[in-house]
Chains A and B, each alone.
Chain A
Amino acid sequence: MFYREAGDFKVSYEQDSQTFPIKFDRYRYYFVLFIAFLVIPFTINDYWASAILLPFLIYSIAAIGLNILVGYCGQVSLGTGGFMAVGAYACYKLMTTFPEVSMFIHVLLAGGITGVVCVLFGLPSLRIKGFYLAVATLAAQFFLVWLFNRVPWFYNYSASGQINAPEREAFGILITGPNAPAWATYLFCLIFLTFCALVARNLTRGMVGRSWMAIRDMDIAAEIIGVNPLKAKLTAFAVSGFFIGISGALFFALYLGAVEVGEAFGITKSFQVLFMVIIGGLGSIFGSFAGAAFLVLLPVILKVVGVDVLGWPTDIVAHFQLVIVGALIVFFLIVEPHGLAQLWRVAKEKLRLWPFPH
């Protein structure tokens, strides 16, 4: 009834190529932005920020980045944790070397550095394909984590081998460190997420995105019709690395504050982000959000139910959590291999005909 193209006339090229062609979607988008930017910052408290909102925002950025690589370009990567570590350590080095520069620039630069590293590790993808590539990206994962563990220059020769985020500002507001207000860190992450989602959405609609998808669907055929595989694959690695680097920097500087690289950016992190992408839906920006929300909320809910409601010991709940997460992943893959985004698509199709299905 309300979810139609009908009656919404496009009279200019801008209107014809806008991101959300259906009016309802457009208003929903503005509404979400309104809530996120103008309502939540005034109602946020520390628990919500640190347990749910910050991880959700940061993982969403990582999931969008990985989705570009895996979902749009078809290059399976298990090195996400390592690339996030690059973002975190780049951000740390920049923060400590140039204390007076705004965090905003540091995070962007950290993303750029990660993009370059990601391209380096993406070079073998020109020859290696499929699972062989997936395992090859593990080389990046293990090598990078080892590098940050063993070379003292990266953690400024600190005795513990950890990196700690010093207090830094952006636009005159304290962003990092234990005294940073929840609303500021939240807004800072939200700005980056909005920026990344917009960039990703528009890249995937344009020529670059189409060449990625051509490579994903069949690389030889794409090459024959004139897509340059070198350019397509490496741009995918670069953009993906940029986003993942941003998320790694935010994860370290704003969310954790102190990082031990093997723990925070180990192989489990790579799998976690990959799960978000798969459960959310390969090749869908919305899916990245949905997957991130799902995997951030699930452990919180399980913990609340298990420890607070049922009163079980925490270690049993932790094991149950593994069992349930594993079972849910398998269940999802069986019921809907295209992820939550597919459910969303089906719902929209239904909505378009509702309430007159014929």
Chain B
Amino acid sequence: MSDQFLFATEVFFNGLMAGVLYALVALGFVLIYKASGIFNYAQGVMALFAAMTLVGIMEGQVPFSHIINAMFGTEVHHFGWHVPALLAIALTVGVMVIFAWLVQRIVMRHLVGQEPIILFMATIGLAYFLEGFSDLMWGSEIKKLDVGLPQGGSFWIEDMTAGLGSDNFYGFFIDQLDIVATVIAALLVAGLVLFAQYTKQGRAMRAVADDHQAALSVGISLNFIWVLVWSVAGFVALVAGIVWGTKSGVQFSLSLIALKALPVLMLGGFTSIPGAIVGGLIIGVGEKLFEFAIGPMVGGATENWFAYVLALLFLVFRPQGLFGEKIIERV
């Protein structure tokens, strides 16, 4: 096999892994959109907030220490304890549930029945708020997140594949974290599917997604379901935050992964969980291969826009995305 082909294959695999990460973020979008018709732009910032909270709890940071110090002239930063990762994750899930409840209670309840664009704008407002709030609460410096996920290239794969090409080829470089992320994503999707198919709350969730009014009339509490959905989305955001945070540190740019998830959504359709996965994989592979093949010719960094243009081209032929529900319009 020629080296060029092997490099392309490596890029392909890395693209698949990146795609899984995109899909992880896109999942949270799909969940909320299906259940409440809200296009939740704040999903990325929720991932940032969750990751920051997790780091803060693990390190024993004092919340709002900057403000407290500025207002009272004190010098408090840390409680001085370290919380084990699992307990911290559990606590963070608790925080995300409280957050979901607050969002539902304070914001979304008052906006029921508004136009989609208004709801969308409200979530952008929410994103601004949460971004400023998490910086105020935990400080804006870059933090390191380590919950014990393995990192670095996998030597095993490298050794196994090194013999395939000529001497210039050192084997596939695949980050262990990406492999773990793939497993986590698979588990998460399986869990979500099981939850939606076989539990009472999951069935209620699907009923709400199908038809609000019909669900209401058979006695399902919309309020509860919406809190539930936002909590689940918060949980998905936490998982995405952990994976991305381990990869590149917990910092502001984490909230920009929401922008990476948007073309994935367009491609897969806003309403389809398998769509989010397949869309993520296509985008991941597509942008990595494009950067590999065409990028050097046009000055690189094509990853910023390629996903969008690819999704745009797809949409021109299939306006509802690959797996989205067929759009039926009536006058």
- Which residues of A come within 8 Å of B, CB atoms? 70, 76, 124, 127-132, 134-136, 138-139, 142-143, 145-146, 149-151, 218, 220-221, 224, 267, 271, 274-275, 278, 312-313, 315-316, 319-330, 333-334, 337
Q: Which of A76, A324, A327 has the most CB of B within 10 A?
A: A327
DSSP majority for the B interface?
helix
CB-nearest residue of chain A to B64: A316
Q: Cβ of B107 < 8 Å from any Cβ of A? A: yes
27 CB contacts below 8 A, A to B, read A76-B117, A127-B316, A128-B312, A128-B316, A129-B327, A132-B266, A132-B320, A142-B305, A143-B309, A145-B304, A146-B302, A150-B299, A267-B259, A274-B121, A275-B124, A278-B118, A316-B66, A319-B135, A323-B129, A323-B132, A325-B125, A325-B128, A325-B129, A326-B131, A328-B125, A330-B126, A333-B125
Which size bracket describes the interface of B in this complex?
35 or more
CB-nearest residue of chain B to A82: B305
Closest 5 CB pairs of A and B: A322-B132, A326-B129, A326-B128, A329-B125, A139-B308
State whether B300 touches A150 (Cβ < 8 A): yes
Q: Cβ of B282 < 8 Å from any Cβ of A? A: no
Q: A124-B312, A128-B316, A142-B308 are in contact. Are A333 and B39 (CB under 8 A)?
A: no
Q: Cβ of B200 < 8 Å from any Cβ of A? A: no
CB-nearest residue of chain A to B133: A323
CB-nearest residue of chain B to A136: B312
State whether A135 touches B266 (Cβ < 8 A): yes
State whether B136 touches A136 (Cβ < 8 A): no
Q: A323-B132, A326-B127, A330-B129 are in contact. Are A135 and B121 (CB under 8 A)?
A: no
Cα distance, A119 to B331, chains bound together (Å): 27
List which B88-134 residues lie within 8 A (CB) of chain A. 107, 110-111, 114-118, 120-122, 124-133
Chain A residues whose C-beta falls within 8 Å of the C-beta of B129 in the assembled complex:
322-323, 325-327, 330
Chain A residues whose C-beta falls within 8 Å of the C-beta of B66 in the assembled complex:
313, 315-316
Q: Which of A70, A130, A136, A151 has the most CB of B within 10 A?
A: A136
State whether A316 touches B67 (Cβ < 8 A): yes
Q: Cβ of B55 < 8 Å from any Cβ of A? A: no
Chain B residues whose C-beta falls within 8 Å of the C-beta of A146 in the assembled complex:
301-302, 304-305
Q: Cβ of B270 < 8 Å from any Cβ of A? A: yes
Chain A residues whose C-beta falls within 8 Å of the C-beta of B140 in the assembled complex:
315, 319
Report B287-328 CB contacts with A as 1/0, cut-off 8 Å: 000000000001111101100110110011001110000010
State whether A136 touches B311 (Cβ < 8 A): yes
Chain A residues whose C-beta falls within 8 Å of the C-beta of B107 in the assembled complex:
330, 334
Q: Cβ of B285 < 8 Å from any Cβ of A? A: no
- Distance from B206 Cβ to chain A, minimum over Cβ atoms (Å): 22
Q: Cβ of B167 < 8 Å from any Cβ of A? A: no
Chain A residues whose C-beta falls within 8 Å of the C-beta of B116 in the assembled complex:
130-131
State whether B300 touches A128 (Cβ < 8 A): no
